[in-house]
Amino acid sequence: MESLMIYMPIAMAALGLIYMLIKKSWVLKQDAGDGRMKEISDYIYEGSLAFLNAEYRLLSIFVVVVSILLAIVSFVVPTTHWLIVVAFIFGAVFSAYAGNIGMKIATKTNVRTTQAARTSLPNALKVSFGGGTVMGLGVAGLAVLGLTSFFIFFFWYFMGAEWSSEMIMVNGKLESQGNFDMIIVLETLAGFSLGAECIALFARVGGGIYTKAADVGADLVGKVEAGIPEDDPRNPATIADNVGDNVGDVAGMGADLFGSYVATVLAAMVLGNYVIKDMGGAITDAFGGIGPILLPMSIAGVGIIISVIGTMLVKITNNDAKETQVMGALNLGNWVSIALVAISCYVLVIWMLPETMKMSFFGEGLQDISSMRVFYATLVGLFVGAMISSITEFYTGLGKKPVLKIVQQSSTGAGTNIIAGLATGMISTFPSVLLFAGAIWASYAFAGFYGVALAASAMMATTGMQLAIDAFGPIADNAGGIAEMSEQDPIVRERTDILDAVGNTTAATGKGFAIASAALTSLALFAAYVTFTGIDGINIFKAPVLAMLFVGGMVPVVFSALAMNAVGKAAMQMVEEVRRQFREIPGIMEGTAKPEYDKCVAISTEASLREMILPGLLTIGFPLLIAFVPMIFGMNNLAIAEMLGGYMAGVTVSGVLWAIFQNNAGGAWDNAKKSFEAGVLINGEMTFKGSEAHKAAVTGDTVGDPFKDTSGPSMNILIKLTCLIGLVIAPILGGHTIAATVTSTQFIETTNGVTDAIEIEMVSVDTENAKAIVTTTFTDNGNVMKEESVLEGTLGEVKAAVAKLQAEHKK
């Protein structure tokens, strides 16, 4: 059974995807409502498709360009294999396809939720959460399926699916052939992760610009100038606004977590390989000697089934339920899945890892680490995932102290409201960063960087469930919009509003989860980067490294500003278009003429894709510049690797801070504004919507919108993508791949008592043109003789020949 474990994650992913398909067909079978509802829903669906198609066009160009670049790299650098291009393309396609599934089901589920809300609240929850489940399992299933399939393929291709414990010399250090080959496998696999994260850049950043441009545009002209309510069908930008909810919150979040999921597992596998190296280059276990590498994959696989169970638990029966009950149902599913992950981690860790491992700690040398300590590290990850949600909830939740304070400060105008909101976001970094720092420290103390990566893996195991909860929010939001636009009975809107309110809370906590996952993923990638390049560490007392730490710290700040400006520009275009339609199309306001929804959709689509080019270039360009410009000037590769590491650390630290700051400030402003809907007590007076204080709060929310939906969440992508690019560049910088130094020596005592020796030196490990020199020393009539022969061919052939020679001499 153990030897089949490598296939387990694929099986689990397949099961999850089958369940997803069943759920999908169930959702699609639900009643899609009557004419008007269907019509609006179709507009949203078509708008989404328009965005997706435009995005795919741009993406295709991008993927082709990057593929060519990667192909060139793999051609120039002997140890970067061309299969990385294939992995990259598949990573991009899988991620895009997962987003496609999510967007489509979300835009199909919204109208069905409205229709279900006409019958009862439990039904509405069932349908909307069903849609979320399809999204969640689609993303998680495809991520695990893609990653593990490629791993198995590369494991066969590069290693013949066998771990070789033979020791070879790499850069003057002994290393097992298995470790060496596994690095090639994982380096190539990094292409898959890079592909997925590139799509996330487009989906998260482009989506964030899209959704806010449409939102701000619709509000500024519709609500403020024309005085018509939100989601009014007379507003030309209203469809774009609803499409935006799906583009940003569904597809963007999905691609973000898809990327985190894949990158975390990959990084944990890299560090698992390092554990085996620390244990002497080979271990004996029932899993073909790769238990520590299989473990993160297995946790991810089991996580999918747990997510399925979690989603099944989310249901309510009472038609008169309020927010609390709905939230309770979601929480039940969430907590049960976290508990199940904890139990599975215990079982898997104890079963799959050696009881005691050796791990090298910087400055402390090799230490004995029991498998129980690895389990504790996974608990740290689960704890962080749960805690970060509570922290986010505290700083952004309705009725909580920070939000109430912003409400109070609204009474003295927009200025004080803004200051209070900014301060809230800034203060919220305190517990969040202490939590992260504590988690890094603790998981490292338990089990080194392998522990850090497994903490991230455990946290990410419930990705399917988390995404289901996340995606359900925008679906409910859209359902409410459709109810409004199709002028339903107020009870329908009331029911969707309950779901929407819960959705707003889960959106905030979901963002917390996404940051935490991005932070831990980046750290794991960072650790993997250091092991890939073979540098001793990253010493910021070297001035160039320190300079790069500064530059890295600056990039998230500038990226955020670019994203915010992009929203501003796109929103202005939208405002002009809506004004034009109101002016030029007679009868819009009377409802006798239909607005040109598609023009607004097109503006948002084009603007979002155009405006993300500059931040995208910043993200991808800086690490490349840092790596290749000094190389042109002949700087030492290891020094460059250290500089790039400093840059990565700067981006990660600063990016995490700015993500927390912006997300929480934005969330707090949003809920401060919402507080006025039910009325708030300011200086002893009940104050409602329409008051001066409320207007100040609306200003705060305007500032918060791009913070929490565009620039804040895009930090996740920035930090992960930066670290991934570093990881992909690593083999070029790292010394371990310099092929000519691979040497293997073996001495054999022959029967006649004379020392007979065979020495094999691998002078090239290029996959297509490998070469080994075999020197045999023997005695002939008392004379010591030397004979030299050369083995040439593909890497596989040369290795086979070497193995045969060695086997012969062992006899």
Find the shortest distance in angstroms from Cβ 58 to its own copies. Answer: 24
Give the separation between CA 565 and CA 530, rounded to whole angstroms. Answer: 35
Task: List the interface residues with its own copies, window 214-233 (CB under 8 A).
Answer: 220
- Of the pair 192, 446, the CB lying nearest its own copies is at 446
Q: Most distant CA pair in the chain: distance in Å?
A: 111
Find the shortest distance in angstroms from Cβ 560 to its own copies. Answer: 6
Give the separation between CA 211 and CA 639, rounded to whole angstroms. Answer: 42
User: Is 438 among the residues that bind its own copies (CB under 8 A)?
Assistant: yes
- Of the pair 306, 528, the CB lying nearest its own copies is at 528
Q: With CB under 8 A, what is the number of residues at the site for its own copies?
A: 79
User: Is 420 among the residues that bind its own copies (CB under 8 A)?
Assistant: yes
Among 518, 549, 693, 765, binds its own copies (CB under 8 A): 549
Q: Are 264 and 296 in contact (CB under 8 A)?
A: yes
- Of the pair 541, 584, the CB lying nearest its own copies is at 541
- Of the pair 268, 562, the CB lying nearest its own copies is at 562
Find the shortest distance in angstroms from Cβ 191 to its own copies. Answer: 24
Find the shortest distance in angstroms from Cβ 119 to its own copies. Answer: 40
Alpha-carbon dihedral sign for residues 300, 86, 152, 528: negative
**Concatenated DSSP letters for 646-680?**
HHHHHHHHHHHHHHHHHHHHHHHHHHHHHHHHH-E
Give Cα 532 distance to the centre of its chain. 21
User: Is 141 among the residues that bind its own copies (CB under 8 A)?
Assistant: no
Find the shortest distance in angstroms from Cβ 401 to its own copies. Answer: 13
Assign 33 to helix, strand or coil.
Answer: coil
Among 30, 235, 429, 521, binds its own copies (CB under 8 A): 429
Give the separation between CA 82 and CA 73, rounded to whole angstroms. Answer: 9
Token pair for 520: 């831990």
Q: Is 419 exposed, middle or buried (0-12, 13-18, 19+ CB in 10 A)?
A: middle
End-to-end CA distance of the chain: 33
Give the separation between CA 376 and CA 367, rounded to whole angstroms. Answer: 17
Q: Which residues contact 595 (CB under 8 A, 6 or more apart)?
A: 233, 234, 235, 236, 581, 585, 588
Q: Which residues contact 97 (CB under 8 A, 6 or more apart)?
A: 142
Task: List the interface residues with its own copies, window 397-416 (CB under 8 A).
Answer: 409, 412-416
Among 527, 723, 733, 795, binds its own copies (CB under 8 A): 527
Find the shortest distance in angstroms from Cβ 627 to its own copies. Answer: 16
- Of the pair 542, 689, the CB lying nearest its own copies is at 542
Among 15, 332, 433, 757, binds its own copies (CB under 8 A): 433
Q: Which of 374, 376, 356, 358 is nearest to 366 (CA)?
A: 358
- Of the pair 348, 452, the CB lying nearest its own copies is at 452
Mark the segment that binds its own copies (CB under 8 A) among 178-186, 258-266, 437-445, 589-597. 437-445
- Of the pair 114, 533, the CB lying nearest its own copies is at 533
Give Cα 71 distance to the centre of its chain. 25
Token pair for 569: 């520009």
- Annotate each residue in 594-633 with x if it binds its own copies (CB under 8 A) or - if it does not, as one string: ----------------------------------------
User: Is 190 among the residues that bind its own copies (CB under 8 A)?
Assistant: no
- Of the pair 433, 763, the CB lying nearest its own copies is at 433
- Of the pair 379, 575, the CB lying nearest its own copies is at 575
- Of the pair 84, 567, the CB lying nearest its own copies is at 567
Q: Are 530 and 181 in contact (CB under 8 A)?
A: no
β-pair partners for 357? 369
Q: Are 485 and 40 in contact (CB under 8 A)?
A: yes
Q: Which residues contact 116 (CB under 8 A, 6 or more apart)?
A: 30, 31, 123, 124, 126, 127, 128
Task: List the interface residues with its own copies, window 332-361 (CB under 8 A).
Answer: none
β-pair partners for 369? 357
- Of the pair 404, 445, the CB lying nearest its own copies is at 445
Q: Are 150 and 87 in contact (CB under 8 A)?
A: yes
- Of the pair 612, 758, the CB lying nearest its own copies is at 612
Task: List the interface residues with its own copies, window 695-714 (CB under 8 A).
Answer: 698-703, 706
- Of the pair 561, 803, the CB lying nearest its own copies is at 561
Q: Are 479 and 125 in contact (CB under 8 A)?
A: no
Q: What is the length of the chain?
A: 811
User: Is 506 among the residues that bind its own copies (CB under 8 A)?
Assistant: no
- Of the pair 141, 650, the CB lying nearest its own copies is at 650
β-pair partners for 687? 680
User: Is 237 among the residues that bind its own copies (CB under 8 A)?
Assistant: no
Among 422, 459, 680, 742, binds its own copies (CB under 8 A): 422
User: Is 646 among the residues that bind its own copies (CB under 8 A)?
Assistant: yes
Among 332, 372, 540, 631, binds its own copies (CB under 8 A): 540
User: Is 735 among the residues that bind its own copies (CB under 8 A)?
Assistant: no
Give the separation between CA 531 and CA 548, rounded to whole angstroms. Answer: 20
- Of the pair 74, 522, the CB lying nearest its own copies is at 522
Find the shortest distance in angstroms from Cβ 48 to its own copies. Answer: 27
User: Is 538 among the residues that bind its own copies (CB under 8 A)?
Assistant: yes
Does an H or E element contain 411, and which?
none
Find the shortest distance in angstroms from Cβ 554 to its own copies. Answer: 4
- Annotate each residue in 651-680 with x if it binds its own copies (CB under 8 A) or - if it does not, as one string: --xx-xx---x-------------------
User: Is 523 among the residues that bind its own copies (CB under 8 A)?
Assistant: yes
Mark the segment that binds its own copies (CB under 8 A) among 236-244, 508-516, 549-557, 721-729. 549-557
Give the separation between CA 625 and CA 636, rounded to whole angstroms. Answer: 15
Q: Are 359 and 447 in contact (CB under 8 A)?
A: yes
Q: Is 768 exposed, middle or buried (0-12, 13-18, 19+ CB in 10 A)?
A: exposed
Find the shortest distance in angstroms from Cβ 703 to its own copies. Answer: 5
CB atoms within 10 A of CB 782: 6
User: Is 561 among the residues that bind its own copies (CB under 8 A)?
Assistant: yes
User: Is 763 among the residues that bind its own copies (CB under 8 A)?
Assistant: no
Give the separation between CA 372 and CA 349, rounded to whole angstroms. Answer: 8
How far is the CA of 258 from the CAs of 143, 419, 561, 691, in angstroms? 6, 35, 25, 43
User: Is 457 among the residues that bind its own copies (CB under 8 A)?
Assistant: no
Q: Which of 600, 515, 591, 521 is nearest to 556 (CA)?
A: 515
Give the separation between CA 569 and CA 603, rounded to whole angstroms. Answer: 11
User: Is 430 among the residues that bind its own copies (CB under 8 A)?
Assistant: yes
Find the shortest distance in angstroms from Cβ 138 to its own copies. Answer: 34
Give the separation between CA 512 and CA 507, rounded to whole angstroms. Answer: 9
Find the shortest distance in angstroms from Cβ 340 to its own copies. Answer: 28
User: Is 54 among the residues that bind its own copies (CB under 8 A)?
Assistant: no
Among 354, 544, 793, 796, binds its own copies (CB under 8 A): 544
Mark the segment that binds its own copies (CB under 8 A) among 2-10, 370-378, 385-393, 447-455. 447-455
Among 12, 440, 601, 607, binds its own copies (CB under 8 A): 440
